[in-house]
Chain A
Amino acid sequence: MVRKYIINIILIIVALGMAFPIFWMIALSFKANPETHDTITKLFFSEYSFTNYWKALSSDSFDIYLLNSVIVSTVVTLGNILFCTLTGYALARKKFKGNKIIMLSIIGVMMIPPHVIMIPLYRTMVNFDWINTYQALIVPWLITPFGVFLVKQYLSNIPDAIENAAIIDGANQFQIIFKIIFPLAKPIIIVLAVYIFLMNWNSFLFPFLFTNNAEYWTLPVGLTFYMGKQSINWGQLMSGASMSAIPIILIFLLFQKQIIKGLTAGAIKE
């Protein structure tokens, strides 16, 4: 019994440690002129205001960054829902020559560290004349090998009796995909969608390399440039950081199970 309490107390202290930096960010974001050495009690009991948020949105272009983040993450997520499901379906249900080669290309790409291709991918974008365009931020990520893999595994474990019945009833390919496969794969599509949205919302390296015009910056890119621009106003910077972090924390609390499943998929053989 005593041991149980000790364990709980340790775990609670660690949990507070995990949450503290996020709390610190939010606390600073509501202060007009925060001192970095303010104590936590002073921060907590002094006045709150939304001034930093209004300033960041109106005069520091965070409205544009926020909008860009929403556009890019949403379009990429929709693309993945469609394309990963189509390809995953073909791999799980169709017999064709080259099935193994396609699977190999998917698993192979999952093993390529993205940092390794940053130079050639950047050169490709230059050659396409895609630097400072939405295409550069969206098109390469519309279908991800991990997503295809997830859908393929899921559909492989579901018997194909329903589809065969539909084929006998005379349903065409289009109807089978949109009336049967999509509803059938819904649970895994939710996992996929939340995971892809999260990854792209937080993505930094490629949006950073492919843009040098503030019109196309997403939140993480805008934040790093804002930091380098002037002597740091921590209050405003942290309000920008909060705009990036708070939506994702809310999504996490809503879709906790799906996010954990997506982020840890493949870790445990079931």
Chain B
Amino acid sequence: MTVYDIIFYLFALITVGSAFFVVTLRNIVYSAFFLLFTLFGVAGLFVLLSADFIAVVQLVIYVGAILVLLLFGVMLTHNITQVQIKTGTLQIIPSAIAVLILAFSLIKIFLNTNWKTVPLTVQSSSVEGLGVLLLNQYSVVFELIGILLLIALIGAASMARR
């Protein structure tokens, strides 16, 4: 086990562990704070994949903007901190069996697969390559994302309006 592996497992543990608390905790403010660690762990994984730009974007947009907005929303909404979220479990035995079977088969299949791997090359920065790809080969995808965001904006405005 190399240092790389240890760092990977550390970040993976942070991500999965805090994601578990996000869904199980009853207080919405605590959940929001654990979401911070989940998103931070994902950013760490991106760094390990030498995807520096995406890691920074993950930090700035998710950890920075979205989570702060979420917390503001929670604080400004009247009395939402006192609301006890209902976390009743329905059909616990069948769902546990289904989840175990799914998890077991996923792990089994993943371990027996020849994943396509490329040797790790340390690049100075991925921003330039990303930009060239987005504006050349994937230009239509770039435009499509623009329209998707416009639609999301219009949809959100329409839903917020009474």
A and B bind: no
* Partner-B contacts on A (CB < 8 A): none
* Partner-A contacts on B (CB < 8 A): none
